[in-house]
A and B are shown apart, each in its own frame.
Chain A
Amino acid sequence: AQSVTQLGSHVSVSEGALVLLRCNYSSSVPPYLFWYVQYPNQGLQLLLKYTTGATLVKGINGFEAEFKKSETSFHLTKPSAHMSDAAEYFCAVSGGTSYGKLTFGQGTILTVHP
């Protein structure tokens, strides 16, 4: 079974500041991990994914995430926040024989102040 915990339901940063959104996972098999972003009244957009190989994953819009097996973490970062980054972010895990199923965290709402 898989589960995801996102630490902090709300994160607020100033424009230009570092963005750090935390995600910890639990998985009985090697996990495949994803970050999605959701803007109001829209579906989810894939930011980045980790499957195997390099543990530092780069995604769209300047975001990246690092897979740390020892810490069971997959935190999302962006060096400099932009106003357009304000949205809700979801960490998700898939694994095992659970076909087509992503298990999502509860989401983190990112607010960016000017």
Chain B
Amino acid sequence: KAGVTQTPRYLIKTRGQQVTLSCSPISGHRSVSWYQQTPGQGLQFLFEYFSETQRNKGNFPGRFSGRQFSNSRSEMNVSTLELGDSALYLCASSLRSGRTGEQYFGPGTRLTVT
């Protein structure tokens, strides 16, 4: 079974621009969570989607948004990019929502904001 895929793998953007990252979960998984990983803050939860509904959101500004499609694929969008948004963005999928399901991670998208 194919794992979680994320596109693109690397991205360079300029301050003020916006960016969209894509995540395709493992086949059959309906929950998708997003995380931001930086050297200073570590791994921080952004949001989780299940059956096209955002069920949980982390402590990030409204510039960070996401959505999930009927095929469970998910996208996250960051508008008005800031230098501090440079990070590895990880997507994880799970068979079900809630705390019991283990999450399987994709390789991440490395975003650099200049």
Give A residues with C-beta under 8 Å from B.
32, 34, 36, 41-46, 49, 51, 90, 94-107
Contacts and interface: CB of A to CB of B under 8 A. Distances in A.
Given A94-B99, A98-B56, A98-B99, A43 B105 contact: yes
B50 A107 contact: no
Number of contact residues on B: which range applies? 20 to 34
Contacts of B56: 98-101
Contact of B48 (A41, A51, A101, A103): A101
B90 A101 contact: no
A46 B102 contact: yes
Given A46-B102, A94-B99, A101 B58 contact: yes
A82 to B, nearest CB: 22
A102 B42 contact: no
A41 B106 CA distance: 11
A107 B39 CA distance: 10
A44 B98 contact: no
A51 B50 contact: no
A8 to B, nearest CB: 15
B107 A43 contact: yes
8 contacts: A46-B103, A99-B31, A99-B97, A100-B32, A101-B48, A102-B45, A103-B45, A106-B42
- Which of A51, A96, A101: most chain B CB closer than 10 A? A101
B8 to A, nearest CB: 14
B70 interface: no
Contact of A44 (B49, B97, B105): B105
B4 A101 contact: no
Interface in B1-58: 4, 31-33, 35, 42-43, 45, 48-50, 55-56, 58
Nearest to B31: A100
B99 A96 contact: yes
